[in-house]
A and B are shown apart, each in its own frame.
Chain A
């Protein structure tokens, strides 16, 4: 028993030395749902989320004052945008479609294909500093950009509420606050959640329930890649430390019959340079997907009907243009994208199901939070 006694004594000392635990952040997550894992270094607080929200909507966070995070990540579209691919503050076109920001707190992999990024904090540096392409473009101008906030009394107040020991804005504050805001964007109030997890049998109509059954069937195979709480395999919760990240080539391209994707974006291959990683992307969450058109990493499918037809065909055969080639025959295509016969009724069922993943209260909160911020702005 000496050993036990010693151990608890040691714990008591530890407890005495640790700063007080941050107040429990009031997550917008139903009580019986798992909570996301938050890094110890950047615990959630309401003050940091508030500061992050103001920064997120503020164009002064870009060097030329033209663009905010929210210029691309628009509240109405579940923080994605209707453009095919993003355009940065200097007008430079991005190769990729703007990702929605929905339950990112649960992600263990970020972007369309970036296995190296661990955590939202690291992720946030990309839009701030990225030079290829330029997004907010503050690289080399951090001091001037942060000084804009130091000179604003409202921001100074929010800074001291969020980081009581800080006396001026530094990169760490901006990144931590933005990360807290992004983590706070949780969305679970959908007809699907009420049907599946609250047991409300009439929360989804019969069409949507049939669509749900198709979605989880071996014939349609969607759930193999869009599984779990967030309909993506790159999502974890609780104390799970196992990354289950997977990237897939879905057969969108086969440029020149060479198993290639367009040169400017070959997905995971850009980072790994493994030929077998060509065309591999992360399966994004399907929560709120009805609001996030156009689809796929390059926004090349205009609507959900087109996405379903694409999977039914087992990939995309482009017969003309610079990227012509039969994606269905791409050698690196996942074995889960094999095509299937789909009746018009089944297509409607699947569409109804995908629409049942929309959370109107999430969008309402998002739009309201932008109004709050604009009402408070003294530009």
Chain B
């Protein structure tokens, strides 16, 4: 995998690029999907608020055709960063190891959109942590059996953190899984033009995500998102309503992930 060594996070942007690469894993009936991430320029931050490290899970990728029919993208099992359903994207600011690419295959077709869930669906989110296999076995991306995984984790140095995950999950204790779906799933479904899956890329605009945040004075956003105005606005940037924990208007108003040319 090629990495842009010269790019020094946090001054860059995340780009998801989906490109058609020749790969022996693909039969003629399928087309490869390779999704690359890079970072948008961030406003300069106080020294204590850098480096920025960003990690998030991407699940349930689909390509959608003009009739609105969604076809699942089958991710390539490639531990430690992805299994067939979920991938971990990791952009550490202070070291070079990370993962900026999600790859898989989809049946050939005419698609107009790429869709993915930012996070992990309920059915997978509260499995026995002892049996968690990569990429779901990262302690830093896990809260507890009851609350499940952190879907997205942004740490701005030691100044401010945003940890996104499901809230309102009920069970008898922190180490028991909930039987019913959490009250606020906080799963954003992101839809982007299919062109990003062929010759484009998707920028992830951290500036838009934290536009409402002053990292050196604001409280972290790590659970009770609806209680703080800044956290409500951070979720709003992802298209999520902090009060209900669900997409507002199918999350179409999200401002963080954006299609771009490569």
Kindly list chain A residues whose C-beta atoms are within 8 Å of the C-beta of B174: 212-213, 215-217
Let me know if B142 and A242 touch, CB within 8 A.
no
Q: How large is the interface on A (under 10, 10 to 19, 20 to 34, 35 or more residues)?
A: 35 or more
Q: Produce 1/0 per residue, B41-79, CB < 8 A to A.
A: 000000110000000000000000000000000000001
**Bound form: Cα–Cα A216–B146 in Å:** 10
Let me know if A218 and B131 touch, CB within 8 A.
no
Let me know if B130 and A334 touch, CB within 8 A.
no
- The count of chain B contact residues (Cβ–Cβ below 8 Å) is 36
Among A201, A227, A332, A335, contact of B220 (Cβ-Cβ < 8 Å): A335
Let me know if B173 and A212 touch, CB within 8 A.
yes
| Closest CB in chain B relative to A205 CB, distance in Å | 12
Let me know if B134 and A229 touch, CB within 8 A.
no
Asked if B138 is an interface residue, CB under 8 A from chain A, the answer is yes
**Bound form: Cα–Cα A227–B47 in Å:** 27
Asked if B21 is an interface residue, CB under 8 A from chain A, the answer is no
Kindly list chain A residues whose C-beta atoms are within 8 Å of the C-beta of B175: 195-197, 212, 216
Count, A-B residue pairs, CB within 8 A = 90
Asked if A305 is an interface residue, CB under 8 A from chain B, the answer is no
Let me know if A223 and B143 touch, CB within 8 A.
yes
**Bound form: Cα–Cα A238–B134 in Å:** 8
Let me know if B158 and A249 touch, CB within 8 A.
yes
Q: Produce 1/0 per residue, A222-257, CB < 8 A to B.
A: 011001110011011111111110101100000000
**Bound form: Cα–Cα A287–B134 in Å:** 24
Instruction: Identify the interface centre among A195, A232, A331: most chain B CB within 10 Å of its CB.
Output: A331
Asked if B123 is an interface residue, CB under 8 A from chain A, the answer is no
Let me know if B47 and A238 touch, CB within 8 A.
no
| Closest CB in chain A relative to B44 CB, distance in Å | 15
| Closest CB in chain B relative to A221 CB, distance in Å | 8
**Bound form: Cα–Cα A332–B157 in Å:** 9
Among B48, B140, B144, B146, contact of A276 (Cβ-Cβ < 8 Å): B48
Among A34, A239, A249, contact of B130 (Cβ-Cβ < 8 Å): A34
Let me know if B142 and A228 touch, CB within 8 A.
yes
**Bound form: Cα–Cα A276–B140 in Å:** 21
Query: 21 A–B contact pairs at CB < 8 A?
Result: A32-B128, A34-B131, A216-B144, A218-B222, A227-B140, A227-B143, A232-B139, A233-B140, A236-B137, A239-B79, A239-B134, A240-B138, A242-B80, A242-B90, A246-B140, A276-B48, A276-B158, A331-B48, A332-B48, A335-B161, A336-B220
